Structure 1
Amino acid sequence: MASFSLKEPSSRELSGGDLLAQSLGQAGVEVAFGLHGGHLDAFLMGCELAKIRLVDTRHETVAVQAAEAYAKFSSKIGVCFPDDDQKGSFGNGLPGLATALADRSPILCIASSPPLRDIETNCLQGIIDQVVAAKPLTKLALRVTNAEETPRLVSHAIRTALSGPPGPVLLDFPIDVLFSPIHKPLISWGSITSPLSYGPGVHTKAVEEAKKILESSSRPVIIAGSGATSVSARDELAKFSKAYHVPVFDTLKYSVSTIPTDSPFFGGPAEKLAYLSILGKQRPDLVLLLGARTGMFLGGRAGGTIPPDCKLIHVDVDGGEIGRVLPVALGAVSDCGQFLAALNKNSTTPSHVDEEWVKDVLSIRHIPSPFEQAPPLQPSNRLHPYHALKTVFSSVEPGCIVILDGGEAGLWGSDTLAACSPSAVVKATGNLGFLGNGFGQALGAAVAVPDRKVVSIQGDGSAGFHLMDLDTYKRHGLNILTVVVNNYAWGMSINGQDMVYGGVESARPISSLSEGAEYNQVAKALGNGSAKLERIEDIPEAIRRLQGQAGPSAVNLIVDRSPTHPGTEAMVGDTKDPKKVVVPYYDNLPRIIYGE
């Protein structure tokens, strides 16, 4: 095919691994994350020829997570290759596929398996059928049994990952397929040289109905998720919110901000809408939900974020999500940018919107934290986590990318991150609540956007998952500052236990961590700049010094595990109601009291 000129190796035959690498290059792939494995050597050598940058990690899950973040920040397919021989194998990458599926991350996972002739011989990597294992965690999982079919199947996999609701796909290449020479006349090019197709457009009737509902609303808000973060969607959203005077809130599960944070209609994270009822203010009568899914992180069915009596317009590329949890007044299967562009045609500033109410809603973002007046030093002589992280964020470079990991550490970080005016925020735990994802997410973000500093917030619990990848940051010279918020405990766990079992003389099983863990020493041994910080006055100078150095650094930030973060209290629920059975992290159940 004229537009795809195969590069011939100078000292060997063109192999299946070469054709795979060059097919990826033709599709626009520039970076791939993974670990070396002998099964994949032909592909890795092919990447050198195709000028695809290989970023090697210390764990397979980190490689998949890095591909996730790279996809989000580059707006391209993320590619990873979990190792496929004795180091741990493809199985270690499965958690990454699970989070990519839950968080709608378009990634292509390249795996390798035993030679086709060795099926069912109990050989290396042959005990588990990797395609079968991956199918429940991907949009598509295929084994490529003929090397000449590679371009066609690579194109098919990438289109599947990017179309509709994005998600992970997997291609498994038996080792003999990768190492065998290519018979060029038999190559099936498929659509590897064709441009990608456009996403789903909006139905005209849906736009008309949406305008009618908007015109009948006086208290509308927008909640925008990761499906509304494309450049076109952000531009149309900013235009729409300004024209209609509608406040915009982010889900912030995994997104670049959907409109500029200095926009007069930016309201901040959607969970702040719950403050309206606490403050005695009217709640929205209409929610326009764009590219976001209902569920736990939007208040579930309890109505904390989306009021049960409001109208709901839900726009998503996945029709299966519309009405899945909450009833809708209108559902539209559409690309969010296309939907907003259609709404913006002939739009005029509405006279029916309650402007005073809009001011009330937008003011929520600036409500001071109840911990603002708390002393920075707790009775334990350890730092208050709110003040410790606020000081960290006040000291980092403005416009950085912030990755939030951990349980309560991530919540405290979310409360204070505005102090650094971040350019993007990722709540790395995602919809599955996976701890430790932040190491890979920081890696992918740093590779995708090398001109931005990355700040990765970890709890001492989440830090234990992938701390060795500080070595990866060093080897690749990445400007990532890792902050381990160290309270010597699984904070959300131990504080949740205190809430449920408080006042009872009992153990707090397996919720404490070692007070001897010196994360700064580990970071130093792995070549990172490092500091241990226990006093507020030491934080600014140390953070500026570390961020001023080239390459990665890490901070061991010692804080108290008290007070309990309000987010933990909200997730555990009311533990004092005698008529309820406490079910932490879910809606409590009514207690059946016999004899009443």
Structure 2
Amino acid sequence: MAPFEFQQPKNRELLGGDLAAQALKNLGVDVAFGLHGGHLDAFLVGAHDAGIKLIDTRHETTAVQAAEGYAKVSGKTGVCFVTANSGFCNGLPGLATAFADRSPIFCVTSSPPLQDAETNALQGFHDQVVLAKPITKFAHRVTNVEEIPRIVAFAFRAASTGIKGPVLIDFPIDVLFSPPQMHRIAFGAIDVPPVDLPAPSPTALDRLVEAWKAAKRPVVIHGTGVRGIDKALLKLVETTHSPVFYSNKFSTPIPADHELRGGPAGGLAALAGKEQADFVLLLGGRTGFLLGGRSGAIIPNNATIAQVDLDGAEIGKTHAVNIGIVADAGLFCEQAAAKASDASFSRNEEWIKKCRKICTDPWPYEDEPKVQKDGQIHPYHAMASVMKSLPRDAIIMIDGGEAGQWASMSAELAEAKHIITPPGYLGFLGNGWGYSIGAAVADPSRLVVNMHGDGSAGFHIQELDTFARFGLNILTIIANNYVWGMSVNGQDLIYEGKTDARPAIQLSKSCAYEVVAQGFNCKAAKVTEYDQIKPTVEELSKSGPSLINMIVSVKPTSPATLGMVGATSDPNVIVVPYYDNVPRPYYKNAENGRANGHS
């Protein structure tokens, strides 16, 4: 394929910044998220002239997260830009999340002129490539202006193929502002060639179908790897009559009213101690705390487990796997469905109904009073009312601790297009702000719902300005109980009767989030009564950038917090919040507290 021709700007020289911008444009990039810095001006002007829309945020962390949110919703590689050192350091949290969650991000940064290395130059202290390498797939500093197109194409391929993830390219300011010698430009594969994805082996498929067919209670649990393969996944599960559950990082493409939609995988914990799945297909989703760790509550320890992933190292990482397949999720679904159609899969009506019931039945909290003893709205009822009041096919971002848990429990009521939990594997609160920006830019036809607790809301609330400046269709909902809910409820479980101390959990009752939103030119309202929720959500869902400050009770404690804290009265167990408890290093007599050595 012949290299494309760079376009000469009007009234000025072609510079390194133009090479970078035009190379990205040629690779299909239409939008980039970031924050201005003078180091980047040659690139930013070049991007403007190349037709790349620039969405400037109020913080570099949210810029990188916006690129990730854009990637998740659009299926493309998200592009962001952060200036040298200070901006770069602010952007590191976004890169860390993208790396943990395998999101394709291309991050552009800059640095002082090459001649000023190790001179304590402005914004030149940290070696950005060294710092970025542990949390990127590829990080590189371009030292020759003519090499920009080649390096850009290489990095773009690294981000968007195989095990996807973030990449970072450091363009020193003198390289960006230098004119290239046109005959020396190194193009490389500036047009990314099609890549043949790995397909499952016929032998592995035969073993899989044999085990799957023998199962009486099969389920499919998937992660973000199924994005964009809606028809292939639906064909496979309909052929095998297998209910589908999803990791809360990214909801399933199975239609909301389909009999095989089981909802979030956490719902399977309701079957723990009862008749659980006897066959589990883990498809394009990693195990770990999002799928119940090694507890067996979500993925039964005695089930036949098949795992399909692009990364062979993930297969069997936390569970003993019976069948492991390294393959692209789409190709796997297509070929497995074809193989399964030749077999005769039985249909377990009782199991299908039981799994569907997990998704559609109300939680036990449905029978509890809508108003708690403190006079505030029950958090489950508040979130359930929000979900039922949203327009169908919205994109819902669920951030926060306990607020996020209550939202996840009720999210299926919304019949949303996507349900995404931005904190991801790192538990990174505040990511929802940037994700919402990226999602709203990727799909402006839908309402994006940016859900927070009052804790996570405080991380990047200044992005309300970005929502307003770009007219983004985002409704922010803050479930406000004036405390760090998971923190105080966790402390209550661990320390009840032992101490009255509840350190570092209070937030301000005088913080008027609705006033903050109005100050950033967003419409806003405060809700204190249950009956106000539905009309307020319906009104502000049609109002563009807007916010609801919804006052809720801190009680009851979310069932997820109860499970994660694992409080126990056993004196020989050390409670380790959010992880499995560990045995005490020495035995303790429960009656008199006397310590005994191990025998």
What TM-score bracket applies, with the shorter chain setting the length?
Answer: over 0.9
Alignment partner, residue 239 of structure 1:
235
Letter of the 1:46 counterpart: G
| Partner of residue 410 from structure 2, selected from 412, 416, 428 | 416
Secondary structure of 1:268's match?
strand
Secondary structure of 1:481's match?
strand
Single out whichever of 357-366 and 552-561 deviates more from structure 2. 357-366
Root mean square deviation of aligned Cα? 1.4
Secondary structure of 1:457's match?
strand
Secondary structure of 2:365's match?
coil
Q: Is the 8 A contact 2:209 2:340 kept in 1?
A: no
Q: Is the 8 A contact 1:159 1:196 kept in 2?
A: no
Secondary structure of 2:455's match?
helix
TM-score (norm 1): 0.96
Secondary structure of 1:145's match?
coil
* Offset at residue 575 of structure 1 (A): 2.6
Q: Is the 8 A contact 2:239 2:345 kept in 1?
A: no
The question of 1:277 aligning with 2:282 is answered no
| Partner of residue 248 from structure 1, selected from 244, 247, 263 | 244
Alignment partner, residue 368 of structure 1:
362
Shift of the 217–25 alpha-carbon distance from structure 1 to 2, 3 Å rule, reads same
Query: 1:273-352 to 2 correspondence within 5 Å?
Result: 273-277=268-272, 280=274, 282-348=275-341, 350-352=344-346
CA offsets 1:553-575 (integer angstroms, 9 cap, x no match): 01111111011000100100133
Query: 1:57-76 to 2 correspondence within 5 Å?
Result: 57-76=57-76
Alignment partner, residue 260 of structure 2:
265
| Structure 1 runs, 4 residues or longer, greater than 4 Å off | none
* Offset at residue 84 of structure 1 (A): 2.6
Q: Distance in 2 between matches of 1:328 and 1:62?
A: 38
* Offset at residue 457 of structure 1 (A): 0.5
Shift of the 9–123 alpha-carbon distance from structure 1 to 2, 3 Å rule, reads same
Q: Distance in 2 between matches of 1:140 and 1:468?
A: 31
* Offset at residue 352 of structure 1 (A): 4.4
Shift of the 457–194 alpha-carbon distance from structure 1 to 2, 3 Å rule, reads closer
| Partner of residue 428 from structure 2, selected from 424, 434, 438 | 434
* Offset at residue 595 of structure 1 (A): 5.2
Alignment partner, residue 29 of structure 2:
29
Letter of the 1:125 counterpart: Q
Alignment partner, residue 590 of structure 2:
none
Q: Is the 8 A contact 1:215 1:352 kept in 2?
A: yes
Q: Is the 8 A contact 1:217 1:353 kept in 2?
A: no
* Offset at residue 576 of structure 1 (A): 2.5
Secondary structure of 1:89's match?
helix
Letter of the 1:508 counterpart: R
Secondary structure of 1:418's match?
helix
Alignment partner, residue 512 of structure 1:
506
Q: Is the 8 A contact 2:3 2:187 kept in 1?
A: no
Q: Distance in 1 between matches of 2:312 and 2:523?
A: 48
The question of 1:180 aligning with 2:174 is answered no
CA offsets 1:358-408 (integer angstroms, 9 cap, x no match): 322222222321111111111111111111122222222121110000000
Letter of the 1:133 counterpart: L
* Offset at residue 125 of structure 1 (A): 2.1
Q: Distance in 1 between matches of 2:257 and 2:570?
A: 42
Q: Distance in 1 between matches of 2:504 and 2:236?
A: 50
Q: Distance in 2 between matches of 1:364 and 1:470?
A: 36
* Offset at residue 225 of structure 1 (A): 0.6
Secondary structure of 1:172's match?
strand
Secondary structure of 1:181's match?
coil
Letter of the 1:329 counterpart: N
Q: Distance in 2 between matches of 1:421 and 1:398?
A: 6
Query: 1:417-496 to 2 correspondence within 5 Å?
Result: 417-496=411-490
Q: Is the 8 A contact 2:397 2:450 kept in 1?
A: yes
Structure 1: state its 5+ residue gaps. none
| Partner of residue 146 from structure 2, selected from 124, 140, 148 | 148
Q: Distance in 1 between matches of 2:170 and 2:197?
A: 27
TM-score (norm 2): 0.96
Q: Is the 8 A contact 2:205 2:339 kept in 1?
A: no
* Offset at residue 89 of structure 1 (A): 2.0
Q: Distance in 2 between matches of 1:576 and 1:30?
A: 57
Secondary structure of 1:191's match?
coil
Q: Distance in 2 between matches of 1:211 and 1:234?
A: 21
Secondary structure of 1:142's match?
strand
Alignment partner, residue 39 of structure 1:
39
Q: Is the 8 A contact 1:89 1:125 kept in 2?
A: no
The question of 1:97 aligning with 2:95 is answered yes
Q: Distance in 2 between matches of 1:289 and 1:101?
A: 21
Shift of the 323–449 alpha-carbon distance from structure 1 to 2, 3 Å rule, reads same
Secondary structure of 1:126's match?
coil
Q: Distance in 2 between matches of 1:205 and 1:295?
A: 28
Q: Distance in 2 between matches of 1:539 and 1:360?
A: 31
- Identity, % of aligned positions: 50
Q: Distance in 2 between matches of 1:524 and 1:466?
A: 16
Q: Is the 8 A contact 1:252 1:269 kept in 2?
A: yes
Shift of the 346–202 alpha-carbon distance from structure 1 to 2, 3 Å rule, reads closer
Alignment partner, residue 226 of structure 2:
228
